[in-house]
């Protein structure tokens, strides 16, 4: 069985091609930020600040949606 036949048989041939260009990778990192793999202490400080802001925003939204909060 050829590789393309195997992929078609198991429904794996319908995957979209990923954009492997630098632009595509930068866009992916911007849309889905993840923990930095390396960097300067400033990068880590920015990351910690970002996570704290996201947590505060989520907590604020949760408290606004809580019943009896008139």
DSSP 65: H
Domain residue limits at 14: 3-65
Half-sphere exposure of 52 (CA within 13 A, CB side): 6
pLDDT at 52: 95
In a domain, 30, yes or no: yes
Number of structural domains (the chain) is 1
In a domain, 49, yes or no: yes
In a domain, 70, yes or no: no
In a domain, 25, yes or no: yes
**Alpha carbon distances (Å) from 61 to 31, 64, 65, 68, 69:** 21, 5, 6, 14, 12
In a domain, 53, yes or no: yes
- Rounded CA separation 52/14 (Å): 39
pLDDT tens, the chain, 70 aa long: 888 888 888 777 776 777 889 999 899 888 887 877 788 888 889 989 999 999 999 999 888 887 765 5
């Amino acid at each position: 069985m050829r590789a393309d036949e195997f992929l078609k048989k198991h429904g794996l041939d319908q995957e979209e091609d990923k954009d492997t260009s630098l632009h595509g990778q930068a866009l992916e990192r911007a849309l889905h930020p993840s923990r930095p793999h390396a960097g300067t202490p400033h990068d880590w400080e920015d990351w910690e600040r970002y996570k704290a802001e996201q947590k505060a925003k989520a907590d604020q939204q949760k408290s606004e949606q809580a019943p009896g909060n008139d």
